[in-house]
Amino acid sequence: MLVNPELSPLENVLQNTRMAMPPGLKSRLRPYKNRLLHKMARSSGVLPDFIIIGGQKCGTTSLYRYLAQHPNVYSAKRKEIGYFNAMHEHDLGWYRAHFPNRLARFAIERIRKQKFITGEADPAYILDPFALRAIKNTIPKVKIIILLRNPVDRAFSHYQHSVRSGVEKFEFEKAIELEHQRISSQWEKMVNGKPYHGLTIYHYAYLKTGHYGDQLEEVYRIFNPSRVLVLQSEIFFRQTQKEFDKVLEFLGLPAEKVDIYKKHNKGDYGALDESLRGRLQRYFQPQLAKMNKYVDSINWNG
């Protein structure tokens, strides 16, 4: 039988079966086939080798799509699965069903003698202690990738995204004044170890999402530093091939040139008021000082 490693065992059997079926039988069998394929996917899917956990509006979509171009990277069914926070009521089989199956990995690694890795990206994970612990408990050897952007620029970009999405009606200065009032109750639930299911934080945590010091403290408390890679977004987009090579080396992948370095999910908007920028720079300074205890290669002062 010819085996296509991209298909499940059942799909390979069905593809290689050339039986003449009575009229209408194929359509009547389709629901059973789909149900069986779903059950097999739940048990045979591999777990990810890497997860890009943040941050929001820092370039995670671009990095994930660049990695998806690599011949040894086999993508999940979608970039953001949300299993470790919003979708955690599902069982592990549901999560596995989003990734390539074990037969594909076996065929590629053992028969083709090629590297095989898969992964996902969800920028909400870095904010959520429950999600970080759940990732470590479920996939102890997973590699963690983080992109961090100047927190002032990130906050303004986040705000503009919420405006475009129709969830933000206030001016930026007013929106950041309202942030604590908007998110405090949800934030307390999340940091106290409960899975977060809402969108309030995702929409309105313009400043909190830039608390990189607190976030990295939690990340390095949970994960072995050798399994964490932190990149500065501005350098990643300015020296993309060089930074992408760092990611490939971290993942144990051979060098590969990406054809098109396009920024994904990039918004166009006006400049931030300089006086407000200065205030926000001072606001974030304690967090940046704390961040530099963990990564001293990132600097937004120059």
Boundaries of domain holding 121: 38-150+211-279
Q: Which of 96-100, 124-128, 257-261 has the weakest average pLDDT?
A: 257-261
What length does the chain have? 302
DSSP state of 49: S
| pTM summary value | 0.84
Q: Looking at the domain assignment, is residue 109 inside a domain?
A: yes
Residue 284 lies in a domain: no
Type of residue found at 59: G
- Tell me what percent of the residues of the chain surpass a pLDDT of 70: 82
- Smallest CA-to-CA distance from 276 within 189, 187, 171 is with 171
Per-residue pLDDT at 53: 98
Quick one: pLDDT at residue 17? 46
Q: What is the structure's pLDDT at 31?
A: 61
pLDDT at position 266, please? 62
267, pLDDT greater than 70: no
Q: Considering its fold, how many domains does the chain have in total? A: 1
CATH number of the domain residue 235 falls in: 3.40.50.300
Q: What is the pLDDT of residue 257?
A: 87
pLDDT at 191: 80
pLDDT of amino acid 44: 81
Q: Per-residue pLDDT averaged across 268-296, rounded? A: 94
| Per-residue confidence band for 121, with pLDDT thresholds at 50, 70 and 90 | very high
Gap between the terminal Cα atoms of the chain: 61
Report the chain's mean pLDDT, rounded to a whole number. Answer: 87
Cα distance between residue 212 and residue 292, in whole Å: 9
Residue 176 clears pLDDT 60, i.e. is over it: yes
Q: Please give the average per-residue pLDDT across 228-240, as a whole number.
A: 96
How far, in Å, CA of 253 to CA of 116, rounded? 9
Residue 169 resides in a domain: no
Given this model, what pLDDT does residue 282 score? 97
Average pLDDT estimate for 38-61: 85
Q: Judge whether residue 230 has pLDDT over 50.
A: yes
* 13 located within any domain: no
Residue with the larger pLDDT of the pair 17 and 72: 72
Position 265 in a domain: yes
pLDDT of residue 245 exceeding 90, the answer is: yes
pLDDT score, position 28: 59
In this predicted structure, the answer to whether residue 166 has a pLDDT above a threshold of 70 is yes
pLDDT for residue 20: 45
Predicted confidence at residue 195, as pLDDT, reads 75
